Chain A
Amino acid sequence: MDRSLQTYLRLLGLAVFLWLVIVAISFLLIKLGSTAPLVLLGGPNPTPEFEARLIADYGLNQPAVVQFIRYAVRTLTGEFGRSWFTGEQVAVELFARLPATLELLLYAVLLGGLIGVPTGIAAAFSRGSAQDRATRAGGLFGEAMPAFLLALLLLLVFFRWLDMAPAPAGRISIVLTPPPTITGSYFIDSVLIKDSIAARSALAQLFLPVTTLALLIAATLALSVRAAVLTQLQTAHFAYARAQGISRDLLTGIALRGAGPAIWTAANRQFAALLGTTAVVEYVFAWGGVGQYGLDAMVKADMAAVQGFVLLMAAIALLVHALARVIRRVARLRFTRA
């Protein structure tokens, strides 16, 4: 068999195994506690019909193994059950809220990267300087900053005191109708239909949540980039390049090319944790994305919704991880050929 095909098959097998473990954890969530699964899935006082349907759907009167297999098969078909709180399909509710989360994440990652990466590089190249020490202290400070506190501090200053930002109430002013869905991003869609009032409102609503998340991303990223570049500066080939007296720009290029994979991997490793932080930020700003939905469900112990949320988060993280690996592989092939 072709070697690369074999590699891909092995990776596919690994992905299937990983997904099974994730589904098993999600399944165990309704089995772990002393509360009966029927209460966790059906709420405090379900109707007899809802109860009967839960028993039938989840196979609650059958052995745990059968229940798990049923659960695994059902989730595979995108069937996450119904929330007892809203009575709606969890999968439908989650997917309706996904664009809101992706919009927030996209801008925050871009902005956080734009701040964090150059800061980290500059700090590494001036190791021990005041700038480097400030970057390190700032990075650690950001790591220690609870996401909800940063969100509240920004709201206090920019919403309450300076009146520069709108109230934390979703993605667009409540007096406006959201634009029709084209890309799912309220801002881009408003621009596409040339609705400047809606676009401005969407942008204003984005201002604080994106800033909160971007600052947190930038802090973590600056520390990882600084560490990765520092490692490169200490290598023998870098010392040799420097001894040759080549220009500073070329030296920077050499260090960055070497640090690239490490930075990429570090950023990728922090992605799953970032999804958790995003959920907290969404919660404070009533963003209406999957994160807020998931946390609301946890507060109410609406376990079907919690399970769906856990599965969706893991699926996104798994997908991003796979994508990051493919990108790294392609990049490596290009670099070795060049």
Chain B
Amino acid sequence: MIGRGLRRLASLVMGPIAGLPRRSISLTCGLLILASFAVVMAAGPVIWPHGPAQIDAPHVLESPSLRHPLGTDAIGRDIAARVIDGTRYAIAVPLAAVLLGIVLGAPVGLLAGVFGGFADLLVRRLFMAVGFIPPLVLALALVAAMGPSLRHVVIAIGVLEAMFFARAMRDEVRAMHASGFIEGAVAMGNTLPRLTLLHLLPNTLAGIAGEIPRRIAWALGTLAVMGFLGIGTAAGSTEWGAMVREGVELMYAGQWWPSIFPGLALLLLGFGLQLLAAGISDLTGRRPVALGGPMGGARGGAAH
């Protein structure tokens, strides 16, 4: 009796997971990579024998060994422990920035999409203009202008994400206009707030779901460039970009591990996010925005 119940529960949970590799390999690989990073972030600091700031003085700049699998840095700190510590930045900052982007961008995009007309045109043209400034350059310039702090890093990346989400949601809503979805909802007696919050917000978010991992990957890359340049994150931080910068001079001298391992962590996490995004696009049958998908261009549909 209990055994049958358990088996049913197991098949309920495992069924979709077991079927996943058949439906999309990229989605499965992406989820696996992301899950391992989540495990490393949660369990790593507890399990790992070394701390990120702990100095192993007799083993300075040691190449990867059994004692220190990723080697040690110039003052004898364990690289693996520091990479594990850095997962906090790599996961929290991009997530916070993308959330901020959705919170700021969604209302603008929804309203522009619902009302259309001059306000929509103005918003679209504004975003088109901003799109000519390389996004990385604008994010860096914003942090340089606001002053270095992790909060400013999140705000700068979040503002650029907001512009993306506003644009993408606006295009989604316009597409719904064309499909008669909004007309139908209004005819059913939905008021404007109800229509926007209950029908448009979930549907547009579902429509751009495949873009969210891609945006997180962009935020991660931008954060890393800031760390690599030394804008925004404090010196000695375990943010991966900052760790890469710290090891550059050593790398030219032949000690490559302090720089390359945090860099590879960045690459792997970014790759996992890209695979996840590609997998979602496969399943939903939608092309990414950057490739001229149905949501119009990276700089806003009709302008092209």
Question: Whole-angstrom distance between the alpha carbons of A143 and B267 in the complex?
Answer: 9
Counting CB contacts under 8 A, is A275 at the interface?
Answer: yes
A279 touches B136 (CB 8 A): yes
Question: Whole-angstrom distance between the alpha carbons of A269 and B135 in the complex?
Answer: 12
A265 touches B251 (CB 8 A): no
Chain B residues 123-159 with CB under 8 Å of chain A are 125-126, 128-138, 140-147
Q: Which residues of B contact A272 (CB under 8 A)?
A: 131-135
B271 touches A140 (CB 8 A): yes
Total residues of chain A contacting the partner, CB 8 A? 65
B266 touches A276 (CB 8 A): no
Q: Which residues of A contact B244 (CB under 8 A)?
A: 148-149, 152
Counting CB contacts under 8 A, is B225 at the interface?
Answer: yes
A32 touches B145 (CB 8 A): yes
A313 touches B137 (CB 8 A): yes
Question: Whole-angstrom distance between the alpha carbons of A277 and B221 in the complex?
Answer: 11
B137 touches A294 (CB 8 A): yes
A18 touches B271 (CB 8 A): no
Counting CB contacts under 8 A, is A72 at the interface?
Answer: no
Question: Whole-angstrom distance between the alpha carbons of A262 and B291 in the complex?
Answer: 8
Counting CB contacts under 8 A, is B112 at the interface?
Answer: no
Partner of B140, one of A149, A265, A273, A298: A298
Counting CB contacts under 8 A, is A76 at the interface?
Answer: no
B270 touches A273 (CB 8 A): no
A21 touches B129 (CB 8 A): yes
Shortest beta-carbon distance from A320 to chain B in Å: 9
For A14, A140, A294, the residue with the greatest tally of chain B CB atoms inside 10 Å of its CB is A140
Would A17 and B129 be within 8 Å (CB), given that A148-B228, A224-B291 are in contact? yes
Q: Which residues of A contact B38 (CB under 8 A)?
A: none
B274 touches A144 (CB 8 A): yes
Chain A residues 202-254 with CB under 8 Å of chain B are 220, 223-224, 227-228
A149 touches B263 (CB 8 A): yes
Question: Whole-angstrom distance between the alpha carbons of A239 and B241 in the complex?
Answer: 49
Partner of B132, one of A228, A295, A299, A314: A314
Partner of A25, one of B130, B263, B273: B130
Partner of A223, one of B140, B270, B291: B291
Counting CB contacts under 8 A, is B162 at the interface?
Answer: no
Counting CB contacts under 8 A, is A97 at the interface?
Answer: no
Which candidate, B10-18, B182-190, B252-260, is the interface stretch facing chain A?
A: B252-260
Question: Whole-angstrom distance between the alpha carbons of A299 and B242 in the complex?
Answer: 13
A276 touches B274 (CB 8 A): no
A144 touches B278 (CB 8 A): no
Which candidate, B46-54, B80-88, B292-300, is the interface stretch facing chain A?
A: B292-300
Chain A residues 281-325 with CB under 8 Å of chain B are 283, 294-295, 297-299, 301, 303, 306, 309-310, 313-314, 317-318, 321
Counting CB contacts under 8 A, is A22 at the interface?
Answer: yes
Question: Whole-angstrom distance between the alpha carbons of A265 and B291 in the complex?
Answer: 9
Chain B residues near A (Cβ < 8 Å)? 26, 125-126, 128-138, 140-147, 217, 221, 224-225, 228-231, 241, 244, 248, 251-252, 254, 256, 259-260, 263-264, 266-267, 270-271, 273-275, 278, 287-288, 290-292, 297-299, 304
